[in-house]
Structure 1
Amino acid sequence: MEGGSSHNFVPPSAGIDKSRVLDVRPLRSLMPVFPATSQAPSFPGMPPFGHTPNGFPPFYPFNVPLSQASPDLNSEMRTPSGPMPAPIRSYRAPAPSGSDDFPEDSNGEGFFDPHVGSSASRKKTSKASSSRKKTKKNGDGGLVTNNGSGVTFVPVMSSFQIEDGNRELVNYVLMNFDALRRRICQIEENKETKTGLIKRADLKAGNILMSKKVRTNMRRRIGVVPGVEIGDIFFFRMEMCAVGLHAPSMAGIDYMTGKGDGEKDPVALSIVSSGGYDDEAEDSDVLIYSGQGGNSNNKDKEKEVADQKLERGNLALQRNLHHGNEVRVIRGMKEDVNSIAKIYVYDGLYKVHESWTERGKAGCNIFKYKLLRVPGQPPAFAVWQTLRKWKDGFSSRAGLVLQDLTSGTEPVPVSLVNEVDSEKGLASFTYFPTLKYTKSFSLMPPSFGCNCRSACQPGDMNCSCIQKNGGDFPYTSNGILVSRKQLLHECSPTCPCTPNCKNRVSQTGVKLRLEVFKTKDRGWGLRSWDSIRAGAFICEYAGEVIDEAKLKQKEGGGENDEYIFDTGRDYESFKWSYEPGLLEESPHDVNEDYNIPYRLIISAKNVGNVGRFINHSCSPNVFWQPVVYEHNNQSFVHIAFYAIRHIPPMTELTYDYGTSSNEAGSNSGPNRKNKCLCGSSKCRGYFG
């Protein structure tokens, strides 16, 4: 990660102030019993390798009958009573009343440790694909199947890929989850204007995808999860469930049991520290983690204060201390934009160093665990801590060249940073936040604005701007783009709606705290101090609009204009929007093929904004979307950039530059190609 430190200093144990411990007593003696038998049964309840109770999908908490697996968007989630059907024993929050102990048979009885091998024999079975009838490929490599009862989405992942994933599959699952979540959110917000209620789109999306097995890393394991990288961010707990990082959707301790010497032996797999308990989480390499259970916070006045017990997750963490097993740590933090929401950051592997009990604020005894980060891992939470200091003004940015290269043009300053060499400036250009037309073009005819007097409301079919967008409001209430569109229509100056109308997202300038930074081998690049949600607007590509004759003149004259954006280039196709079949919608409702009325060529060499610094990648994290709105009595097309997936802070932003539609093999003159240095596993070797 650019700009991050590679050092991991772990403070000694003496750095913990034990004077605050009021009542310290040792935990009971635990004889280490580590499961090592290869005859242990495989995990029950983990299809396609095990079995779930009849009529239930394979994932908690979505233990609704399969007949209800695709939720009715007009109703709340329904959870029948009875034992939990999933192979999970994961606790930190107190158990619901009347269900303090789950049956032993509901828990997995084996786990995989990459250091010692599996304690359970793995059943590797898969059904033949010949049973799929009337299938066709969709744009993302998945399959859309007509089984006689409607359209059903079938993922491209095989049984083994669901069990063990990789980076590509993790991104695939996360993109499908958030695409579906955004669409459900859009549907619910359309209803909100009538009912005043909005439902949990993340839970509904998770329910649908889990029942369709659009997930990966179902095989429970200690340590590293294939395809999940340190520093990855998640905006919903269900995302971590879907990729196998942390199985429970609510509880903070994820653990499982194995069989050893005839008795169950719990092992902790991962923990989430998100501020709900009295954790001490300010140190980037040390975490003081509070146990689960009891009634330590005294929020429920009807319940008596109760000590925590050495069971479940607490016992599992204690076992990790004796066995030396690693535990995955996810840290939850408040989102900068929305203080109520949380961002979850995967901070890597930790080991339980010591444990004790102390008297909590409510007067009960609680368990405490000191976890130390395993050395040599890339920084994750440490980067967030550094950024917080920069944002609060407590620390100056190393390598800072310029505080704001926009000179106040953008709502948020954009800094210029060089930590690579001694270069202290950029090639001269004029900063301009939007497109600049220097001559008349054959543009779209002017369009009349909407009649919304305050702000355009989702579901208002009297709004002409919503009608132009196919009847749906293109953004969620927090300004996130729902789907790629052939041509996205935003409100314009002729619309009487207020300037803060949610249908003016790309016109309001940069909102993220961006910085232009010097890369090691690709010149200047762009990244953000803020985390970026999938579908969030980043910036537009600003510059001078030129015609084809001017472009050919530049190329024919040998002018090196590296800042050309051309909608006439060939771009790699990809699927980003939701799969309509998951919601029983027609596939024709979502069309991601751009329909731009004229070829748009933009040069940002002399005039431009931060968009000119976004580098090329064959595996980008940003995509461009044509947006049209009216100004000066004409409708103009703009190019706006949105995040393909969640982007952690200080990650370089990249998009696909495309290739010239001319002969691909030419490397000189107007047909020349630029050598690609993106380093992606899918790198095609050239661009432009």
Structure 2
Amino acid sequence: MEHGLNPQSNHQPGSIDKSKVMDVRPLRCLIPLFPNPPGMPNVPTPHAAPFACVPPGGPFPQGVQPFYPFLVPNDPQHTGYGSQNQQGNFGHGSTIPAPVPLNSFRTPASKPHGRRGRPRKNVNPSKPLAVEGDEYSDLQNDQYVNEFGLHTTDAEASNKSVRRRGRPRKRRPGDGDEIDVESLVNSFLALFKLNGFDDLTRASGDKETVGTILLVFSLLRRRLTQLDEANDLTNGIARRPDLKAGTLLMTKGIRTNATKRIGHVPGIEVGDIFFVRMELCIVGLHAPSMAGIDYMSVKITTDEEPVAVSIVSSGGYDDEGDGGDMLIYTGQGGVQRRDGQMIDQKLERGNLALEKSLHRANDVRVIRGIKDPLSTGKIYVYDGLYRIQESWAEKKSGCNVFKYKLVRVPGQPQAYTLWKSIQQWRDGTATQTGVILPDLTSGSESQPVTLVNDVDGEKGPGHFLYISSLRYSKPFPASKPSSGCHCMGGCQPGDTHCPCNQKNDGLLPYSSIGVLLTSKPLIYECGQTCACPPNCRNRTSQAGIKVRLEVFKTKNRGWGLRSWDPIRAGAFICEYAGDVINDASGSFGNEIDNNYIFDATRHYEPLEAVHDDSTASKKAPFPLVISAKNNGNVARFMNHSCSPNVFWQPVLRESNNESYLHIAFFAIGHIPPMQELTYDYGRVRTEKEEKGKKKCLCGSVKCQGYFY
């Protein structure tokens, strides 16, 4: 940054004009996300060389493809990084016509200060404050630190394995070797049949393609998180498995809607939610992973000019709105540095594109960043199409910024306004229509469950006793005695001495916020004889409901279940509570015919989204039939769907010589608020029971017409 230039200064020939000396500050060191050669740990060197703005050159380690620069032909957004006609080779003979996000490189985390395990805030006075076009504010970095467990929780603080003041934890005997990421990615692509991804699908997708890519990204991201934690590969540096997973997929051409367009994006509906910015990139809703404005060039006679296609209002500036259908958006650039220097915004790039869109009156997609009520991060909500009505410049925090007033195009489904309504229900400033009971559970759950009917005059379901867990009259015998773990501070990732980790192939199955990191035929949770506390990560399904659920009357399928809160992919929802009506001999009794039965002995179509083995049908390891007719919880209200958004997972808790099998429900993909929660009821085994077919009214495009 040029500092203190004085054009009127006079100096003697040969002397130094100090008024023209430039105050140059070095860039912060950036570490590329390339894996090291085989045999070397994936840990950055303590003193990485300063990042130079040149593409990385070979030779590359085996399995790594160069991915710089990723340029869009004739895209003015990236003209500063190379020829517009330059294209990168991404392996498998494919070319991706869109940029790799600039955040494919990460800044090393500061050394911990004062509090163990928590990165110290950067207090460099020249560091700019958070701006709309830069997602890497202090708040955003904290989001990923908290989400992936680098902060020290109460349970971790009391465990001897916690690192002290940035000192690397000694690798335990048996710690995993370097992760074969290439094989991991290829296995996911083969499972979801994405190896033959063609250019047409890459340019423009549909709902099924978008859903599949998001599921693969989510599974890969969660798996990388689990492996990194177990092997302690990050050594105190903030993990960004979202960037790693996104880059791995994009280098293989696994993305869709890569062709920019004005208006809605195929396969994405108004109200859809995303938990990281990379998800917006790989499905084409918003291409830049950092910038808040996405734009493209359109040809006007012989000239071209930029027009905006989408914006992300993520809270870098205090954007204003009125009733949820209007947004005052602040342009990108322009900061007040911590040393007090002001930098004005310029009418260029994204700001110029918004100005051109004002005059052309084209639709602009709006994605709103909303604080996640269950974590420190953000949720990105697609709020539909808006049009820019006016623009102006004003002074904000000492620098000139551009303001744009956008108004929502009428006739679209609710999205952001629905979130505002739910918040008003929480605060008690507004009343929901059709509420019968404010809490169906009578305090049995940590979160109230509202009973609502705004369809007809029915006052509620048939009488039953609400219970929050499963009731066993006789547990299953354990295959061998289990003494439980001795993790006084809670089970820790990578602790090979923990017997509960050993049962789960040495890996903790859950993240620090209760997200299922991998799907297995059976998950072993801590039992009654384990010494770990109730908030142990390996007791996720025992901690009860964490989201605000609602039992509601559907239009044609009786009572159903939905959530006020957004639910991220892999998050625990609830378990199936009721009475176990079978014993080890398999005698199920006469209650098998009622409508509130969960039968784990049925055949289930393999859900590729949640199974690593697509060759076998889903089967529980023990015969388990649960009746929720007289005693049950919210799970008894979940309806069947041939395209479900929830799956069930057997969870085993062992104590001494006894085994208790439970059924836990998790989200397949991200589920927006007030969307009905459904799962597949499965198929019966015998021809005799085929007579129990019922007409299916799930309404999905894959509906089979019946269920059992």
Bin the TM-score by the shorter chain. Answer: 0.7 to 0.9
Pair 1:81-2:34 in alignment: no
What amino acid is aligned across from residue 363 of structure 2 in structure 1?
E
Distance 1:167 1:629 in 2: 38
What is the CA distance between 1:80 and its match in structure 2?
5.9
Partner of 1:680: 700
What is the CA distance between 1:163 and its match in structure 2?
1.0
Pair 1:358-2:343 in alignment: no
- Tell me if the contact between 1:485 and 1:592 (Cα under 8 Å) persists in the aligned partners: no
1:553 to 590, 612, 616: 590
TM-score by length of 1: 0.76
Pair 1:250-2:290 in alignment: yes
1:420 to 455, 459, 475: 455
Distance 1:271 1:139 in 2: 35
Partner of 1:271: 311
Pair 1:509-2:544 in alignment: yes
Partner of 2:141: none
Partner of 1:575: 608
Q: Secondary structure at the match of 1:353?
A: strand
- Tell me if the contact between 1:449 and 1:464 (Cα under 8 Å) persists in the aligned partners: yes
- Which ranges in structure 1 are unaligned for 5 or more consecutive residues? 1-60, 110-121, 124-134, 146-152, 580-587
Measured against aligned partners, the alpha-carbon deviations of 1:98-149 in whole angstroms (never above 9, x if no partner) come to x9x716843899xxxxxxxxxxxx99xxxxxxxxxxx9xx998x5379xxxx
Q: Secondary structure at the match of 2:343?
A: coil
Distance 2:357 2:85 in 1: 18
When structure 1 is superposed on structure 2, of 435-444 and 353-362 the one drifting more is 435-444
What amino acid is aligned across from residue 704 of structure 2 in structure 1?
R
Q: Secondary structure at the match of 2:201?
A: helix
Q: Secondary structure at the match of 1:532?
A: coil
What is the CA distance between 1:476 and its match in structure 2?
1.4
1:143 to 182, 186, 190: 190
Pair 1:536-2:571 in alignment: yes
Partner of 1:438: 473
What is the CA distance between 1:316 and its match in structure 2?
0.5
Any residues of structure 2 matched to 1:142-221 within 5 Å, and which?
142-143=189-190, 154-192=194-232, 195-221=235-261
Q: Secondary structure at the match of 2:227?
A: helix
What amino acid is aligned across from residue 575 of structure 1 in structure 2?
E
Partner of 2:371: 334
Distance 1:90 1:336 in 2: 37
Are residues 107 and 326 of structure 1, via their aligned partners in 2, closer, same or farther at CA, if it must alter by over 3 Å? Answer: farther
Are residues 312 and 656 of structure 1, via their aligned partners in 2, closer, same or farther at CA, if it must alter by over 3 Å? Answer: same
What amino acid is aligned across from residue 687 of structure 1 in structure 2?
F
Partner of 2:464: 429
1:647 to 656, 662, 671: 671
- Tell me if the contact between 1:193 and 1:459 (Cα under 8 Å) persists in the aligned partners: no
- Tell me if the contact between 2:478 and 2:654 (Cα under 8 Å) persists in the aligned partners: no
Partner of 1:629: 653
- Tell me if the contact between 1:594 and 1:626 (Cα under 8 Å) persists in the aligned partners: no
Distance 1:88 1:237 in 2: 23
Pair 1:524-2:562 in alignment: no
Distance 1:166 1:449 in 2: 48
- Tell me if the contact between 1:620 and 1:656 (Cα under 8 Å) persists in the aligned partners: yes
Q: Secondary structure at the match of 2:320?
A: coil
Any residues of structure 2 matched to 1:16-95 within 5 Å, and which?
73-75=42-44, 81-82=53-54, 85-87=70-72
Q: Secondary structure at the match of 1:313?
A: helix
Q: Secondary structure at the match of 1:169?
A: helix
Partner of 1:467: 502
Distance 1:161 1:177 in 2: 17
- Which ranges in structure 2 are unaligned for 5 or more consecutive residues? 1-29, 56-68, 88-95, 98-182
What amino acid is aligned across from residue 299 of structure 1 in structure 2?
R
Pair 1:102-2:80 in alignment: yes
Pair 1:671-2:691 in alignment: yes
What is the CA distance between 1:72 and its match in structure 2?
8.0
Q: Secondary structure at the match of 1:106?
A: coil
Distance 1:399 1:88 in 2: 54
Partner of 1:240: 280
Partner of 2:343: 306
Distance 2:244 2:404 in 1: 34
- Tell me if the contact between 2:591 and 2:627 (Cα under 8 Å) persists in the aligned partners: no
Are residues 373 and 676 of structure 1, via their aligned partners in 2, closer, same or farther at CA, if it must alter by over 3 Å? Answer: same
Distance 1:512 1:417 in 2: 17
Q: Secondary structure at the match of 1:264?
A: strand
Q: How well do the aligned residues superpose, as a CA RMSD in angstroms?
A: 3.4
Pair 1:315-2:355 in alignment: no
What is the CA distance between 1:544 and its match in structure 2?
1.0
Distance 1:440 1:465 in 2: 19
What is the CA distance between 1:63 and its match in structure 2?
9.4
Measured against aligned partners, the alpha-carbon deviations of 1:71-99 in whole angstroms (never above 9, x if no partner) come to 985449997623854228999xxx9xxx9
Distance 2:338 2:569 in 1: 37
Q: Secondary structure at the match of 1:465?
A: helix
Q: Secondary structure at the match of 1:331?
A: strand
- Tell me if the contact between 1:88 and 1:256 (Cα under 8 Å) persists in the aligned partners: no
Distance 1:252 1:107 in 2: 25
Are residues 72 and 103 of structure 1, via their aligned partners in 2, closer, same or farther at CA, if it must alter by over 3 Å? Answer: same
Measured against aligned partners, the alpha-carbon deviations of 1:151-197 in whole angstroms (never above 9, x if no partner) come to xx953432211111000011100001111111111122224499344
Q: Secondary structure at the match of 1:102?
A: helix
Q: Secondary structure at the match of 1:511?
A: coil
Partner of 1:410: 445
Identity value in percent: 52
Partner of 1:449: 484
What is the CA distance between 1:670 and its match in structure 2?
6.7
TM-score by length of 2: 0.74
Distance 2:646 2:493 in 1: 26
What is the CA distance between 1:631 and its match in structure 2?
4.8
- Tell me if the contact between 1:541 and 1:611 (Cα under 8 Å) persists in the aligned partners: yes
Task: Pick 1 or 2: higher relative contact order, CA cutoff 8 A, min separation 6.
Answer: 1
Measured against aligned partners, the alpha-carbon deviations of 1:602-635 in whole angstroms (never above 9, x if no partner) come to 1111111111011100100000000000358511
Q: How many positions carry a matched residue from both structures? A: 565
What is the CA distance between 1:317 and its match in structure 2?
0.7
